Amino acid sequence: MVVRGRPSAIDRSRLPEPGPVRSFAFPAIDKSRLSNGLNVWTVSHPEIPLIAFVLLVRRGASADPPGQDGLAALTADMLDEGSGARSAIEIHEELARIGAQFDTDIGSDALSMSATVLSRFADRALALLSDIVVRPALREGDFSRVRQLRLHRLTQLRDMPGAVADRAFLKLIYGSHPYGHAPIGSEASLAVMSVDDVRAFHASAIRPSFATLIAVGDCRHDQIVQLAARSFIDWQDGNAGPAPIANGLPTAARLNVVPRPNAPQSELRIGHVAVPRDTPDYHALVVANTILGGQFVSRINLNLREDKGFTYGARTAFEFRRLAGPFVLQVSVQTTATARAIEESIGEIAGLRGPRPVTADELELGIAGLTRGYARNFETADHIARAAMQLALFDLPDDYFAQFVPTVSRVTAADVHRVMERHVHPPRLTTLIVGDLDAVGADLPALGLGDPVVLHADLV
Amino acid sequence: MRLAFTKHTLDNGLDVLLHQDRGCPIVAVNLWYHVGSKNEQPGHTGFAHLFEHLMFEGSQHYDRGYFQPLQGAGATLNGSTNADRTNYWEVVPANALELALWMESDRMGYLLPALTDAKFSNQRDVVLNERRQNYENRPYGLAPMALLAALYPPDHPYHWTTIGEIADLNTVRLDEVQAFFRRYYHPANASIALAGDIDLDDALGLVRTYFEDIDAGDRVVPVVAAAALSGDIRIFFEDRVELPRLYVAWLTPAMFADGDADLDLGTDLLANGKTSRLYRRLVFEERIATDVSAAQNSREIAGYAQITATAAPGHTLGEIEQVILEEVTRLAAGGPSDDEIERGRVQAEAQFMYRLQTVGGFGGKSDQLNAYNVFLGDPEYFERDLARYHDVTSQSLQETVAHYLDPAHRVTLSIVPRGRATLAAPDSSPTDVS
């Protein structure tokens, strides 16, 4: 056996201990509010001549009116399709001339537009952002094209097992609840939408009093407030549409299959509706999830990947939202291992909750992983802007970041046990397989999850 | 804008690049081995990448997995393999730099005593599942296999993908793994970059402490290979997709070679983003495609450019191909507008700044320093790299497009829904892909 390293003076019998923790000051956020209600937050981070702008609007896919699934996302997609007399292409040419990285994102609770630009173009970036958000053209011709592209996208999503699984799983566990549909909506809902619906949604949901403009980078607070006032001051606060309400949740079958004949892998989702972001159990749940399926050395990944070799990777998450979000395990496993992977997954979830509680070593490792490297979440302007967005979206206090490490460090094994018991319920877990039913069907009865309900991708 | 650094080469040949950035109390450790799938042989593909997996399974002096102690110290870490290089990185709190160097040096010097058959067969299963997840069970996922096989001859090392062929992965033996390690995983074939909250002298001292005792290996002979396309190679295969997709690909210059930057900007203005010529025609005006994109994929010894578009329902790949050829020909004949050149330059400058924001991870300053050092032997290349894009002119871009994006010498690949072979671009022949 070749050993390349020579014997040396280095002590390789044990790992070096970390040195003292270097201090780190969390970024301070300067906050103002314009007379129309728009929040303007800035963080000075002048290392590189860039500014990351984010405009967060606290209305997302959960604000889609009944029967109009996809309206918020379609509206967000229409915003950069032209302003005033300018076409979509002209708007994007202007963004390109200032080197902007422009992106629109929509989730359940919010939509956001981000533009990272060279700092010398700050004024032009804000003027463009306000044209996009406040004064979009919302033309009929652009609407029909954008809607058509979204319909094509839905067609393509039917080919993608992960996307099929995500959409079907939300529907199974949430039903008609505002979180029960993917932001993109469905063929049926998009088919009946008109440009007037988009204009109405823009007027009711894209309002300054729901919005926070965040600027992080090579900038000063007073400069950004002044520029924001110039660009956004004529943004009127209109009549708000109704805030989303949580409907009753459905009762799904425990085992469900979307057939994908001859698929080499099964895409799995296992979970249920869990808990909102404002739960006092948040930090303990984050620790519990880290141990269960939130890091490479989690129980789920070590079992399904590193021990069994069933998958390229497995993970769990509590998806925290303003209303109760899902707890979900997701993994793609080789077809022949489908039933065993489900059994092991449910076993690991149930195990941490009861018979195999967190060990002292696991707890220490989980907490260390979450806390010791926490500062890296604030390295770049984009990182800091994303962190600030969390404060704005969830009404978190100014000292939230400074409190994160001490709060997580206080989580005990008893806390992990308590929050798992309170928020995770194995008998309520819904399991979904997107895979080759003919190949896996015979193995399913032994799981004891009842007869599988067969769903069809087209109807999801 | 400069990227200040120091470079030292240890006696065993290991290059050490150091960059100080005190903005955040973290350090990126980035280690490149100059080996990728281009160092593989036909019948033995997928090897470099499978090997990367084995590097995370423990080494002689810490054989309980690579992730645990580093995650426990607050690090994030990963690695990746491409045709030309394999990289490994940790972003650690500044107080855990020594731990990361201990771990990286132990697997550089002492991997094999800890490498067992059990680890090997487990990671082979994981890689076969990675291949199923990212290629076989993904719509259009086998496109790279078909494109590379058509662009490069069977004995050219870019003929196969980094993930490798299933049959090859199933027949790899442990003794081949050991030989591979001896040949490629040694200090003289590696470059380590540290970027972040470090004291330059202390950091160099630590690297010396942990790496100096590792023996240099034999110099690796550079891979040489050539490729040429005899004509318009027209192929198709059937896949589990709803909409047919067209790929048009050409052989182009290698990374950093003359014409590489022109083709970066040229493919952008042809098909990337809403302002591009092909987006405007195919998606915005004529609405015959649902999406279009393009890239100059530049690699160490050769490049290839590709344009990709998906047909809107009711439209054919033949219609799309015609528009693509018209726009390529128009650019080759008339060149870009002044506004297109100016936008390309500003965007290139912005992209360089974005890349400098972070010390490491996938990308970032540490990875950039290693890229310049390994491929060019010159970590100081940053400013000249940016200058390559500023030096592109209307004329140089036009001439480069005219020379390389030649309609008579290309690969034209159609991927069509199962049972719908007639949807392929005209005169295409079926190709086997798996």
Kindly report the nearest CA distance between residue B408 and chain A, in angstroms: 32
- Has residue A399 got a pLDDT over 90? yes
Interface check B352 vs A, CB under 8 A: no
Chain B neighbors of A334, CB-CB under 8 A: 125, 128-129, 132
Cβ neighbourhood burial of A20 (10 Å; 0-12, 13-18, 19+): exposed
Query: Of B72, B93, B122, which is closest to A365 when you measure between CB atoms?
Result: B72
Chain A neighbors of B110, CB-CB under 8 A: 3-5, 12
- What confidence tens digit (pLDDT) does each residue in B257-304 have? 999 999 999 999 999 999 999 999 999 999 999 999 999 999 999 999
pLDDT, average across residues B4-27: 97
Query: Of B67, B242, B349, which is closest to A159 when you measure between CB atoms?
Result: B242
Instruction: For residues B360 and B1, give the distance between their C-alpha atoms in angstroms, rounded to a whole number.
Output: 18
Torsional sign, CA A57, A61, A63, A67: positive
Radius of gyration of chain B (CA): 23
Interface check A5 vs B, CB under 8 A: yes
| CATH for B232-430 (3.40.50.300, 3.90.79.10, 1.10.10.10, 3.30.830.10) | 3.30.830.10
Instruction: For residues B105 and B92, give the distance between their C-alpha atoms in angstroms, rounded to a whole number.
Output: 16
> With an 8 Å Cβ cutoff, are A118 and B76 in contact?
no
Report the percentage of chain A scoring pLDDT > 90: 90
Confidence of residue A248 (pLDDT cuts 50, 70, 90): confident
The angle subtended at Cα B87 by Cα B86 and Cα B90, nearest 5°, is 155
Complex ipTM more than 0.90, yes or no: yes
- Has residue A47 got a pLDDT over 90? no
In chain A, the domains with their CATH numbers are 30-232 (3.30.830.10), 255-459 (3.30.830.10)
The owner of tokens 């500003």 is B346
Confidence of residue A459 (pLDDT cuts 50, 70, 90): low
Reading the block at residue B245, the tokens are 């997709």
Kindly report the nearest CA distance between residue B54 and chain A, in angstroms: 11
Confidence of residue A1 (pLDDT cuts 50, 70, 90): very low
Confidence of residue A441 (pLDDT cuts 50, 70, 90): very high
> With an 8 Å Cβ cutoff, are B134 and A312 in contact?
yes
> With an 8 Å Cβ cutoff, are B24 and A296 in contact?
no
pLDDT of residue B394: 97
pLDDT, average across residues B58-69: 96
> With an 8 Å Cβ cutoff, are B240 and A159 in contact?
yes
User: How big is chain B, counted in residues?
Assistant: 434
- What confidence tens digit (pLDDT) does each residue in B17-42 have? 999 999 999 999 999 999 999 999 99
Instruction: For residues B28 and B91, give the distance between their C-alpha atoms in angstroms, rounded to a whole number.
Output: 4
Interface check A307 vs B, CB under 8 A: yes
Chain A neighbors of B287, CB-CB under 8 A: 145, 148
| DSSP for B305-329, written as a single string | EEEEEEEPTT--HHHHHHHHHHHHH
Count the neighbouring beta carbons within 10 Å of the beta carbon of residue A284: 24
Alpha-helix residue ranges (DSSP H) falling in B236-381:
260-271, 277-278, 317-334, 338-355, 364-376
Contact (Cβ atoms closer than 8 angstroms) between residue A325 and residue A275: yes
Nearest to B261 by CA among B147, B347, B333, B321: B347
> With an 8 Å Cβ cutoff, are A152 and B290 in contact?
yes
> With an 8 Å Cβ cutoff, are B210 and A306 in contact?
no
Interface check B280 vs A, CB under 8 A: yes
Chain A neighbors of B273, CB-CB under 8 A: 92, 96
pLDDT of residue A11: 87
Interface check B105 vs A, CB under 8 A: yes
Interface check B74 vs A, CB under 8 A: yes
| Nearest chain A residue (CA) to B241 | A159
Ramachandran class of A257: left when φ > 0, alpha when ψ lies in -120 to 50, beta otherwise: beta
- What confidence tens digit (pLDDT) does each residue in B111-164 have? 999 999 999 999 999 999 999 999 999 999 999 999 999 999 999 999 999 999
| Nearest chain A residue (CA) to B217 | A4
> With an 8 Å Cβ cutoff, are B121 and A88 in contact?
no
Reading the block at residue A64, the tokens are 């889609």
What are the beta bridge partners of residue A87? A82
The DSSP secondary-structure symbol of A11 reads -
Listed in sequence order, the residues at least 6 apart from B41 whose beta carbon sits closer than 8 Å to its beta carbon are none
Instruction: For residues B35 and B47, give the distance between their C-alpha atoms in angstroms, rounded to a whole number.
Output: 11
Interface check B209 vs A, CB under 8 A: yes
Fold match, B6-211 / B232-430 = yes
Kindly report the nearest CA distance between residue A245 and chain B, in angstroms: 35
CA distances from residue B263 to B209, B231, B320, B375 in whole angstroms, order as listed:
44, 21, 21, 19
Kindly report the nearest CA distance between residue A302 and chain B, in angstroms: 10
Residues 379-418 of chain B with CB under 8 A from chain A are none
- What confidence tens digit (pLDDT) does each residue in A215-239 have? 999 999 999 999 999 999 999 887 7
**Pairing status of strand A50-57 against strand A111-118:** antiparallel
The owner of tokens 């022109």 is B262
Residues 125-144 of chain A with CB under 8 A from chain B are none
Q: Across the A/B interface, how many CB contacts are shorter than 8 Å? A: 238
CATH placement of domain B6-211: 3.30.830.10
Instruction: For residues B105 and B214, give the distance between their C-alpha atoms in angstroms, rounded to a whole number.
Output: 8
Domain boundaries defined on chain B: 6-211, 232-430
Interface check A93 vs B, CB under 8 A: yes
Query: Of A116, A310, A378, which is closest to B129 when you measure between CB atoms?
Result: A310
pLDDT of residue A6: 61
Instruction: For residues A415 and A144, give the distance between their C-alpha atoms in angstroms, rounded to a whole number.
Output: 52
- What confidence tens digit (pLDDT) does each residue in A119-155 have? 999 999 999 999 999 999 999 999 999 999 999 999 9
Chain A neighbors of B65, CB-CB under 8 A: 297, 306
pLDDT of residue B184: 97
**Residue type, position A150, single letter:** R
What are the beta bridge partners of residue A257? A433, A454
- Has residue A296 got a pLDDT over 50? yes
pLDDT, average across residues B302-328: 97
Query: Of A18, A21, A376, which is closest to B91 when you measure between CB atoms?
Result: A376
pLDDT of residue A238: 73
Count the neighbouring beta carbons within 10 Å of the beta carbon of residue A108: 23
| Nearest chain B residue (CA) to A435 | B137
Query: Of A7, A15, A158, which is closest to B242 when you measure between CB atoms?
Result: A158
| Stated pTM of the model | 0.96
Residues 143-172 of chain B with CB under 8 A from chain A are none
pLDDT, average across residues A80-95: 94
Instruction: For residues B301 and B418, give the distance between their C-alpha atoms in angstroms, rounded to a whole number.
Output: 36
Interface check A384 vs B, CB under 8 A: no
| Nearest chain B residue (CA) to A19 | B95
